[in-house]
Amino acid sequence: MEIIEGLQRTQAQTLSYFELSEEQLVKTYAPGKWTVRQLLHHITDADTVLYDRIRRTISNPGQVIWAFDQDLWAEGLDYMRFPLEVNKAIYKATRAGVIHLAQQHYSGAGDKHFIHSATGSRTLKDEFDKVVWHNQRHLDQIALALAS
């Protein structure tokens, strides 16, 4: 399945970035943007939020699920000092859960939905696809940062 390939591909690339040097982790892709370190923390946090939405939608479709403010998370969780090795383990475990659930539910996901507090009605399939899209978007930003 294409979704599984996308989840595995973005996972492998993301995990490799957790091994970057301190010099590489402080790079940004544009002035005033997050560092590679902050992007890795954000990717992990977003994966956990999306995983939670997926689980909630499988278990209890139709509910309202609240958006999260990524900047408040970055500040409140202190992305600059939070240990990367902790979030690497969380990312790896969460992605394994997403992959497992995608294998079980992606094909039949069309009728399960939830209401996102900011964007409205979304399907389970939308949320699985968003995991890959979101991760890839930030991997592209990391690649830009490392190329500078």
Instruction: Indicate which CATH number applies to the domain containing 18.
Output: 1.20.120.450
User: Structurally, how many domains does the chain consist of?
Assistant: 1
Residues in the chain: 148
Over residues 5-43, the pLDDT tens digits come to 999 999 999 999 999 999 999 999 999 999 999 999 999
Q: What is the pLDDT of residue 56?
A: 97
pLDDT, averaged across the chain: 97
Q: What is the pLDDT of residue 134?
A: 98
Task: Look up the pTM and report it.
Answer: 0.96
Q: What is the pLDDT of residue 111?
A: 86
Per the structure, the complete domain to which residue 74 belongs is given by 2-147
Q: 139: closest CA among 89, 131, 112?
A: 131
Q: What is the pLDDT of residue 66?
A: 95
